[in-house]
Structure formats: C-alpha cells, structure tokens
Structure 1
Amino acid sequence: MSPPEPVRRPTYPLAHAFRRKPRRLPLVLRFAKGAVHDIILVPVLLHSLFTVLIVYIDTRYVDSISIPATIIPSLSIVVGLMLVFRNSTSYDRFWTGRNCLTTIGTSVRNLARISLVNSRGKDGETTMAERRDTERIVRVLIAVLYAIKHNLRAEFNIPPASLASLPPQPNPYARSTPVSRRPSYVDHTVSSPATPSMNTPLLSRSGSTLHNGDDTIPTKKDEYVSLLPEGLMGYEDQGLGLPLQLTILVEGYLRRGYDRGWFHGPLASQMTVQLNSLVDAYGRMETIRSTPLPIAHLIHQKQVLALFTCVLPFAIVDDYRWWSVLVVAIVAFTLYGIEGIGVQLEDPFGYDKNDIKMDGIIEDTRQEVMVLLEEWKANHEGRAMGGMFD
C-alpha cells in the first residue's frame, strides 16, 4: 500500500508580502488606508478659512486688496523645487531601506542553506549535540530578522534587558541538566514568581523602569522569543543592540563549523562575508532611522508652503471672488499632500500603510527557512520524503 500523499498547506512563496485582496474602490476614491488626508486636513482647512476672510474683506470693506498675479509663478518655482527635493529624498530612503531588507533576507537564506547542507562530517554523520547546535543557529538567523525589525521600531527590552546593575540574584535561566538532555529553546514568557515576565517592568542602570521609545512598557513578542537561545539576556539597557549580539552567536558557529571540518576555508570566508553584508545592511537601515532631514530644510519648506498659499488668495480674489476659496483649497490640498507623502516615506520602518511591509517580508523568510529546517530534521530522523538534504 502506497503512503498517503502529503497534505499541502494553503500558502505559497511571498504569500505575506503580496497584497492579498483586490481593491474594492478605485484609488481616486480612497480617503483612508494609505492616504495622507489626515495629515493635510488641518492646513487645508486653515488656508481655506483664511481665504474666506480675504474674500469677505475684499467684497465688503475695501475696493481691492489684490496684488499682481505675476508673483505667483516666481513663488511656485521655489515651492516646486523644494517639494521635488523632499519627495525624491524621502523615496530614496524608502527604496534604500527596502534594498537593505532584501540584503538581510538574502544573507539569512544563504547562511541557513549553507549551514544545513554542510553541517556534517565527511562520513555524513553528526552527533545529537552538533545537530542541536545547527538548529539553534538557524533559529538565531531567523531571530535576527525580528530583532532588526523591533530595533528599527524602537521596541527594545525583548528579551529582558540585563540586570547587571542589580544585586546578585539567582539566574532563572541557569542550566540544571546537561545541554544534550534539555530542549534547545524555551518560551521566555513562562516565568516563576521570582522571575520577571516579559510584561513586568525591569529596572535599568539608573533604577527607573525600562520603556520603549514611545514611553510604553515593552510587551512580549511571542513570534520570535521562542527562537532565541535558552538563557539569552539582552544588554540593550547598556547600549548593545540585540541584532549584533545574535550575529556574534552566528560567528561563533562558523568558527566551530570550521574547526569540525564542515566548512573549508573559502566557504567559511564566504559565510563571513554574508554575515558582514547583513550587519552592513542593518547599519544603513539604522542610518535611515536615526538621521532625519535637516531641520533647516523642514522649517523653510513649511514656511514657503504657508507663504505661497497665503499669498495666493490676494492674487486671485478679484478674478474669482468666492470661487477663490475652492481654488486655494485645491492648491493647498495638492501641495500639502505632496509634502505629506514625503513625511510618510521619510521613516519607512513603522506600521503605516505606506511603510515597508516588514512584517510580511520577514514572515515569508521565516516560513522558508523553517520549512528547510524541518526537512533537514526529518532527513536526519530518516523520515524525509523529498530527499532535499540527501
């Protein structure tokens, strides 16, 4: 009797990064979910009200308060140049961030692939401890993706930060049995009464409660905490980023693989290059996150936009009368909308609709690498069906 066919799950490559459902409304009719109308509503409303005041004064109290319309082309050139610079700079940050995320994902794929294929001796045999070591590092590679995502979003203290500044305490993660007899990974969210859970405020070096970048207490992140090695303690309260800390574990694995004869010199060198490329890409993403546009440019841009839309009613009030309100509202909507798009793209690593879909992209990479890992484990247990790692 032939074995049953394997059941396929309803997924496919890049399933989470792609848009899943068709648009219900044409984009021209959309005023939410990705639009910038909430950003520009206040300035458009204020300039419209200002135009109402100008038209009212012009029609009721004075003969004419208009100015020559020839001033408008001169100001529009300046406004156009500044908006083009702002949007092109913001989109370049968005595109660079997306390319860096691709570089990181590619490095994780390559390192996981090479590790799984080559993590065995010339006779093809490995010990249980060596297989656990390889599985641990593949999971760490996936955790690097999540650590980078959370650091770029200023979501720190995952896992718990170091408690080095506190009096000596029993280590809740201490190994009580040999490594080979314990599971390689634990869920850090399960804690004893004496152990601070992921939702419990932890003390920093100054004795105050650790907070995220938005002054909220960090919460647990179940999607990747279980990927971290047992007993791992972060040192973010001392300035060490978790992505760099995890890459040190990967570097140590490369060294052990070289010593075991799994990776020859050129291959180990290539893997180190992949790891360096990952760190370099993360550094460039950090640069985007921590380097806003110069404040002088932002101030002048806001002032020029306000100046232009405040001067415009005086130039058109005699020709358009009350229609000037609609004209100014349309112009303000257009110009401030372009400026609002630049604001959205300036920091592309958050949760906004216009940000990079980091959650979906990372989930797709995790899905791929975890399938490879499960097939690799099945191959070593003698129950592989596809022979992927034979």
Structure 2
Amino acid sequence: MPPRRPTYPLAHSFRRKPRRVPLVLRFTKGSIHSIVFFPVLLHSLFTILIVYLDTRVLSSLGLPSTIIPSLSIVVGLMLVFRNSTSYDRFWTGRNCLTTIVLYAIKHNLRAEFNIPPASLEGAPAFDAHSTPVSRRPSYVDRPTPSSEDAGENGLVDGDGLHQPKNVYKSLLPDGLRGYEDEGLSLPLQLSVLVESYIRRGVDRGWFHAPLASQMTVQINSLVDAYGRMETIRSTPIPIAHLIHQKQVLALFTCVLPFAIVDDYVWWSVPIVAIVAFTLYGIEGIGQQLEDPFGYDKNDIKMDGIIEDTRREVLTLLGEWQKAQGDAEDEGAHLGGMFN
C-alpha cells in the first residue's frame, strides 16, 4: 500500500489516506456501534420472546402489517429532523472555526482553562512554561486524550497529530490572569485587549481612523463567530424532543415484531435487529454531531485546523523576516558602495 503521508497545505485538517479496512467492515473507530449495541440486543431478545410465544404458547400474537407504514412515516420524520439539526450545528461550528482560529477558542470550547485565575490569592505570576492550572474537568462528556497518549512535549490526538504543550501560552501578555471561574471566557478577554490596543494606536498615531474602524469590524466578526460556537456548545437539543424520540423509536421497534411474526416467524429476529440497528444508528449519528468540539472521531478536527494555521503563519513570518533581512543587507551594501 502507498505510504500514509500528509499532503500540504492543510495537511492535518484534511488528509486523504488509503483505508486499511473498508468502511463497511469498520466497527470501532468513528462508528456508532457502541451506542446502538444494547438497544439492538434488547429488541432482538424481545422479538425472540414474541416469536416463541406465538409459535409455542399462544395461537397468534400477530397484528395487521398495515400499521407499519403509518408508524414508519412518523419515525422517519423525527430522525430526519434530528440529523439535519445536528449536522447544521456541525457545519456552522466548522464555518465559525474558519472565521476565528485560536488556541484560546479550542481550549475554551473544551473547557480546558490553562492560566491562573485572578481570584486565586497568592497566585504566582503567569509563566509561559508553567503547568496548566486545572480548576474543573474538561467539558461535559467529551473524553480528553489519555495519559498514555501524552508525550514529553505534548499530546497526540486520535489522528496521530502531535500537539505542542500549551504552545499558545507564549503568545499571551505576561502576567495575564484568567476570569473563567467568574464567567468571563479568555477569547472575550483577549478581544478587549486587542480593542484597547487599536484605540491606543489611533491615539498615538500608529494608524489612521479608517484602518482602526476596519480592524474593529474584524474584531466584531471574531466575537460573533465565537458567540455562535458557544451557542452550539451550550444549547443542547431540547430534552422533550429527545425523550419523545427515544420513546417513539422504542415503541415502533417493539410493535414491529407483532406485525411480522405471522409472516416471517423466526426470521423476524434478524429483521427486527436490522431495523433497530438502522434507526438507532441514525439517532446515534445525530447524538455524535450535536456537540462537535470534542475529541471524538466524528468531531471537528480543531487540533489539525489550528496546527495548519500555525504553520501558515510561521511560514509567512519566516518569509517576511527573510525579506526584511535581505532588504537590510542590500541597504548596507549600497551604503558601503557610496561610502
């Protein structure tokens, strides 16, 4: 097989590589089989009980098969609404991450707070190389990389991408304290600092007012994108919809054996298992996409996106520094010629 090498640019956020196992045979990474296993198992056991009672104990437990189409329409509509809503959240989050790509955004969306809080009395001054201060666990039920994946210089995510440890800390102002424990996120705190810098630049004549206005508009766009991502993270699907959807799925899959037992007998068991696998799998996909900012295989590759952006910025800065150095060397050469 060809070597699995990333292709630049966008090597980490978008990588096409040969699949070692066809997707139809994959049951672990990226799949939702662990979510649907128990519902499928329970409905299969229930179907076995119905078939046994229908064939060995009672004369007939069958229901008219005409009830299935009417129920399937309702179930299909509910699953379509759930999946379309969840994917819209995923797509919106990805677009917003294109607008604002910051280490602070990634850590804030995962509730990984890495700088000392201002309310902590006697806290040492902020050190860019210090160990992160942990004040509460990572965001909700998204697992963080295990300690086994930790290296000497950082973490390795599920795609094998090496993440520098606290690499964004060196970009923060010295002595910066966080206010996450008081309800203020670090991205908003940094936006206030940038806005104050723009105002100070206008007062000191570093740039004119129209340019300052354009930069302020950019700051507003960043804050708006961050607000959209925070809305996705903090606004789950209403619990009433989730309860009703689970109950409708369970009701439909429990009624299905009664409607097909007379026609298929013991074949009803695999048929119900396949139907349950399909329906609960679609529901499980919507559950995976509902919050796309974690570490799961189906989440947005924030680590890769931010790593690609970091490399692009470093490359641009390197070329700019090289051009500045060449200009200075040329100026020194010309000065020597005139002297």
For normalisation by structure 1, the TM-score amounts to 0.73
Query: In structure 2, do the counterparts of structure 1 residues 40 and 384 end up closer, same or farther at CA, with 3 Å as the change threshold?
Result: farther
1:351 aligned onto 2:295 = yes
How many Å separate the matches in 2 of 1:233 and 1:37?
A: 43
> What is the percentage of aligned positions where both structures have the same residue?
74
> Do 1:47 and 1:332's aligned partners in 2 also have CA atoms closer than 8 Å?
yes
Superposition deviation, residue 367 in structure 1: 1.3
> Do 2:293 and 2:299's aligned partners in 1 also have CA atoms closer than 8 Å?
yes
> Do 1:162 and 1:236's aligned partners in 2 also have CA atoms closer than 8 Å?
no
Determine the structure 1 residue equivalent to 2:280.
336
Superposition deviation, residue 381 in structure 1: 4.9
How many Å separate the matches in 2 of 1:383 and 1:187?
A: 33
> Do 1:375 and 1:384's aligned partners in 2 also have CA atoms closer than 8 Å?
no
Query: In structure 2, do the counterparts of structure 1 residues 314 and 352 end up closer, same or farther at CA, with 3 Å as the change threshold?
Result: same
Name structure 1 gaps, 5 residues minimum.
1-9, 106-144, 174-185, 190-196, 202-208, 386-390
Letter in structure 1 aligned against 2:279: L
Query: In structure 2, do the counterparts of structure 1 residues 379 and 245 end up closer, same or farther at CA, with 3 Å as the change threshold?
Result: farther
Determine the structure 2 residue equivalent to 1:67.
63
Secondary structure of the residue that 1:257 maps to in structure 2?
helix
How many Å separate the matches in 1 of 2:225 and 2:92?
A: 10
Letter in structure 2 aligned against 1:149: K
Determine the structure 1 residue equivalent to 2:194.
250
Letter in structure 2 aligned against 1:187: A
Secondary structure of the residue that 1:321 maps to in structure 2?
helix
Query: In structure 2, do the counterparts of structure 1 residues 172 and 152 end up closer, same or farther at CA, with 3 Å as the change threshold?
Result: closer
C-alpha deviations, 1:145-184, integer Å up to 9, x for none?
A: 111111111222x1122235x3xx38535xxxxxxxxxxx
Query: In structure 2, do the counterparts of structure 1 residues 377 and 11 end up closer, same or farther at CA, with 3 Å as the change threshold?
Result: farther
1:226 aligned onto 2:170 = yes
Superposition deviation, residue 18 in structure 1: 1.2
Secondary structure of the residue that 1:261 maps to in structure 2?
coil
Q: Which runs of 4+ in 1 moved over 3 A?
A: 169-173, 209-217, 259-262, 374-385
Query: In structure 2, do the counterparts of structure 1 residues 45 and 341 end up closer, same or farther at CA, with 3 Å as the change threshold?
Result: same
Superposition deviation, residue 373 in structure 1: 2.8
Determine the structure 2 residue equivalent to 1:150.
107
How many Å separate the matches in 2 of 1:296 and 1:43?
A: 20
Secondary structure of the residue that 2:115 maps to in structure 1?
coil
How many Å separate the matches in 1 of 2:25 and 2:276?
A: 19
Letter in structure 1 aligned against 2:202: Y
1:292 aligned onto 2:248 = no
2:213 to 269, 276, 285: 269
C-alpha deviations, 1:333-356, integer Å up to 9, x for none?
A: 111111111001111111111111
1:187 aligned onto 2:131 = no
Secondary structure of the residue that 1:98 maps to in structure 2?
helix
Superposition deviation, residue 369 in structure 1: 1.5
Determine the structure 2 residue equivalent to 1:142.
none
C-alpha deviations, 1:34-87, integer Å up to 9, x for none?
A: 111111111001100110111111111011111111111111010011001001
Query: In structure 2, do the counterparts of structure 1 residues 172 and 290 end up closer, same or farther at CA, with 3 Å as the change threshold?
Result: closer
Superposition deviation, residue 375 in structure 1: 3.5
1:172 to 104, 125, 150: 125
How many Å separate the matches in 1 of 2:103 and 2:123?
A: 29
Aligned residues: 305
Alignment of 1:14-163 (within 5 A): 14-105=10-101, 145-156=102-113, 158-163=114-119
> Do 1:58 and 1:64's aligned partners in 2 also have CA atoms closer than 8 Å?
yes
Name structure 2 gaps, 5 residues minimum.
1-5, 148-153, 155-164, 330-339
Determine the structure 1 residue equivalent to 2:132.
198
How many Å separate the matches in 1 of 2:206 and 2:323?
A: 18
> Do 2:116 and 2:178's aligned partners in 1 also have CA atoms closer than 8 Å?
yes
How many Å separate the matches in 2 of 1:359 and 1:383?
A: 36
> Do 1:378 and 1:384's aligned partners in 2 also have CA atoms closer than 8 Å?
no
How many Å separate the matches in 2 of 1:70 and 1:42?
A: 28
Secondary structure of the residue that 2:44 maps to in structure 1?
helix
> Do 1:154 and 1:213's aligned partners in 2 also have CA atoms closer than 8 Å?
yes
How many Å separate the matches in 1 of 2:328 and 2:301?
A: 34
Query: In structure 2, do the counterparts of structure 1 residues 252 and 378 end up closer, same or farther at CA, with 3 Å as the change threshold?
Result: farther
Query: In structure 2, do the counterparts of structure 1 residues 50 and 384 end up closer, same or farther at CA, with 3 Å as the change threshold?
Result: farther
> Do 1:52 and 1:325's aligned partners in 2 also have CA atoms closer than 8 Å?
yes
Superposition deviation, residue 259 in structure 1: 3.2
Determine the structure 2 residue equivalent to 1:108.
none
How many Å separate the matches in 2 of 1:170 and 1:18?
A: 41
Query: In structure 2, do the counterparts of structure 1 residues 336 and 211 end up closer, same or farther at CA, with 3 Å as the change threshold?
Result: closer
Letter in structure 2 aligned against 1:94: F
Superposition deviation, residue 233 in structure 1: 1.1
How many Å separate the matches in 2 of 1:81 and 1:210?
A: 39
> Do 2:116 and 2:123's aligned partners in 1 also have CA atoms closer than 8 Å?
no
